[in-house]
């Protein structure tokens, strides 16, 4: 399918208990997918908006987030 962007499925896995609430992932996500909840832990607020860029995974100091992109 030349030219067309391949549809993809993005899976975000969050080890919430490891999150120390630094907010780096929230600040770096270009799509405002991630938020801190009332306990100061990361939460996936807008899963459908995630483009699978991997910034959150790359920059979390505590390896809380893993991003898996599956091309369809
Ligand atoms: S992969 Fe990119 S778009 Fe998705 S939550 Fe992480 S930083 Fe945001
Ligand atoms: S970068 Fe990691 S530790 Fe910091 S708020 Fe995000 S998930 Fe939590």
60 touches ligand 1 (CB under 6 Å): no
The 3-state secondary structure of 4-56 reads CCCCEEEEEEECHHHCCCCCHHHHHCCCCCEEECCCCCEEECCHHHCCCCCHH
Domain boundaries, the chain: 8-71
CATH of domain 8-71: 3.30.70.20
| CB 26 near ligand 1, within 6 Å | no
**pLDDT digit string, tens, across residues 12-69:** 999 999 999 999 999 999 999 999 999 999 999 999 999 999 999 999 999 999 999 9
Span 49-65, pLDDT tens digits: 999 999 999 999 999 99
23 lines ligand 2 (CB under 6 A): yes
Gap from CA of 44 to ligand 2 centroid (Å): 11
């Amino acid at each position: 399918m030349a030219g067309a962007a391949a549809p993809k499925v993005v899976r975000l896995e969050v080890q919430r208990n490891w999150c120390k609430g630094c907010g780096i992932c929230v600040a770096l996500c270009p799509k405002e997918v991630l938020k801190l909840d009332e306990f100061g832990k990361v939460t996936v607020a807008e899963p459908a908006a995630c483009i699978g860029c991997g910034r959150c995974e790359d920059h979390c100091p505590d390896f809380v987030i893993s991003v898996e992109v599956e091309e369809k």
